[in-house]
Chains A and B, each alone.
Chain A
Amino acid sequence: MTRTQQIPMVFAAPIDIPVNLNNLSRVGARPAFLDYLVQLWDFRSFIVYDARARVKSGTRRDKLGSAWLLLNPIFNGLTYFLVFGVLLGTGKGIPNFIGYLVIGVFMFQMTSGAITGGARSIQQNRALVQGFTFPRAALPLGVNLREAMVNVPMILAMMLLVLLIPPTEPITWRWLLIVPVLVLQFMFNLGIGMLLARVIARVNDVAHLLPFLLRAVMYLSAIFYSYERFINKPVLLHIMQANPVFIMIDIARDCLLYAETPSLHSWAVLTAWSLSALIIGGIYFWKGEESYVRG
């Protein structure tokens, strides 16, 4: 077909067609941020259905079904107990080390699960994104909602373990404070998930790095040792005390295990983290709204 180019082409004179774009909108255009939030609200039944349908199908292939949602953190906790508690003895000096470990493992697992799911929500749902026009933030939101639904029995199990495994702890009014911690945790997970979702939609390689990043956070969150280990290393101590995941776990331990009211400072730092993650993640995700249709 190289011949095509050799034939001189004379184009007809251009014609002007007036069009009134008044009643039209650009296909796939990104709405203003507030309109975007309204759209998300309009798609709430989609988000809820997406979350609920996937809760049911998540473990359908396994014989034990949803039991794995509980068995997984229990086995994790058992492994850490054997390796760090028994073999390495990192639990020395920690009152009620098993309770300490249980809360750390469960809380961390909830955050890492939600962040991983949120981060991959766009990449794993390309067919849905290309097939339909809906605000894309519905996907990370749906994943986080699903994780939150799954986490309700996990939190109850965590509390039950703390109550049952000796030394048992009494229930105080502070147990109620677990609710605001979970709300802040949800906001934080969602924000980070949306941030990563856009990055991974653009550069898929980051999906491979994510497990390593999460593992690094895990080791820095004092799950199977006490942060007091670093009392003589001020730099590490400061990093650790600013780590939002550590703060969540720490507050949960204060409330459930040690019957101590968490300090105002911890609450303030965690709230700042959660709010900024949600706002920055939300705006960053929204800015990329038009880019998700292409892989």
Chain B
Amino acid sequence: MSVADMLTNLTPTPCIVADSVAMRYRVPSTEVTEDNRYPHMKFLRLLNPLPNTVTVNALNEISLVVNRGESVGVIGRNGSGKSTLMQLISGQIRPTSGAIHASSTPIMLGVNAALVPELSGDQNVVLGCLAMGLSHEEIADRFDEIVEVSGLEKSIHLPMKSYSSGMGSRLRFAIAACANPEILLVDEALNTGDAQFAARSKKRMDELRSEAGCVLLVSHSLDTIRQMTTRTIWLDKGDFIMDGPSKDVTKAYTAFTKHLSKGNNISAAKLRAEAQSSLPMVNLLKTTGSAG
């Protein structure tokens, strides 16, 4: 028995393993670039324009292990890669390199577009639930609950394209929330909709969180993060900065943002570099054979 095998037996069972995951986009840019090709034949430039695309590093290489029973907060400024990480884990986008492993299909609660705009709300409920693998009986059981959580009442019978964006995301939340997932991803779902819905969705989320195997929560509210999670990771501009107990990480992050808002970019960058330098590189020793 090798050392790695022995360690495997001791380690808790992981729910999510992100193995050197990175995400890059190539997107078109409207920035004007100097085009000096074909100096004597300008029309050729029109026929063959420069591919005006830029590469965006949404998330640099990151390795992460989330164990069963953990609830992990994800914090960072806008554009730090929080949502990208969530989308990667939920399978909504495919990483440019690396792979995400999960013990079951992660379900993401978040603000999202309409499902099938031509269909009515109730048809979308059934379709969404079937797409998550529920049976007709299970859907019949939960249908009233979903409608109640969504707060749509009579509007549930109208086509989804007639919904306001708030109504659409409420329904989307209610559908995803009915699944009782083992792995729950929450992307600022608490901020959707009016106060009445916020209270209702928070209640449902608390239920889900207590039942789920592990939870990942993206939020800008550090209070929420501290209340609901035990461990927090901090992302900034696609870089993995810090990983540790929620109390420590939110403290470091608060210090960082305070320096930034005062305009002390240098000291903020120093804090960021300090935090990042103490972050150990994670080296995953993958075993696929049966443990022991």
Binding site for B on A (CB under 8 A): 1, 3-4, 7, 9-28, 42-43, 45-46, 49-50, 53-54, 57, 60, 125, 127-128, 130-134, 290-291, 293-294
Contact = CB atoms under 8 A, between A and B. Distances in A.
A9 B276 CA distance: 8
A26 B133 contact: no
Nearest to B92: A130
Nearest to A292: B94
B8 to A, nearest CB: 5
A3 B13 CA distance: 41
B14 A134 contact: no
Given A9-B276, A22-B290, A131-B172, A1 B269 contact: yes
20 contacts: A1-B237, A3-B269, A12-B280, A14-B280, A17-B283, A17-B284, A17-B285, A18-B11, A19-B286, A22-B287, A23-B103, A27-B88, A27-B100, A49-B126, A50-B127, A125-B116, A127-B113, A127-B115, A131-B172, A133-B105
Interface in B211-246: 237
Interface string B138-161: 000000000000000000000100
B90 interface: yes
A14 to B, nearest CB: 4
Contact of B131 (A14, A54, A132): A132
Contacts of B282: 14-15, 17
Interface string B103-130: 1011000001111101110010011101
Contact of B92 (A15, A54, A293): A293
**Chain A contact surface mostly:** mixed
B181 to A, nearest CB: 11
| 7 A-B pairs with least C-beta separation | A14-B281, A46-B130, A132-B131, A24-B101, A28-B91, A18-B7, A18-B285
Given A12-B277, A24-B103, A131-B172, A46 B127 contact: yes
Contact of B114 (A16, A26, A53, A127): A127
Contacts of A132: 128, 131-132
A108 B123 CA distance: 31
Contact of B11 (A14, A19, A28, A130): A19
Interface string B251-292: 000000000000001100110110011111111111111110
A43 B237 contact: no
A131 B107 CA distance: 9
B102 interface: yes
A134 B92 contact: no
A27 B281 CA distance: 23
Contacts of B205: none
A284 to B, nearest CB: 18
B162 interface: no
A20 B10 CA distance: 11
Q: How many residues of B sit at the interface, in one of the four size bands?
A: 35 or more
A60 B289 CA distance: 55
B101 A9 contact: no
B101 A25 contact: yes
A74 to B, nearest CB: 25
Given A21-B17, A128-B115, A133-B91, 11 more contacts: A1-B269, A9-B277, A18-B11, A21-B288, A24-B101, A25-B103, A28-B94, A45-B130, A57-B159, A131-B131, A132-B131
A53 B115 contact: no
A294 B94 CA distance: 7
B285 A19 contact: yes
Contacts of A16: 283-285
B54 interface: no
Given A7-B273, A27-B101, A18 B127 contact: no
A125 B289 CA distance: 39
Given A46-B130, A132-B128, A3 B115 contact: no
A27 B288 contact: no
B62 interface: no
A290 B287 contact: no
B202 interface: no
A60 B113 CA distance: 22
Contacts of A21: 17, 101, 286-288
Contacts of A294: 93-94
A53 B100 CA distance: 34
B136 interface: yes
For A25, A27, A45, which residue has the most chain B Cβ atoms within 10 angstroms? A27
Contact of B287 (A19, A125, A133, A134): A19
Given A12-B281, A49-B126, A293-B91, A43 B116 contact: no
B53 interface: no
Nearest to A42: B133
B102 A131 contact: no
For A16, A18, A57, which residue has the most chain B Cβ atoms within 10 angstroms? A18
B249 interface: no
B56 interface: no
Contacts of B136: 45
Contacts of A26: 99-102
Given A1-B237, A20-B8, A128-B115, A25 B102 contact: yes
Nearest to B131: A132
Nearest to A61: B118
Nearest to B67: A19
A167 B165 CA distance: 58
B273 A15 contact: no
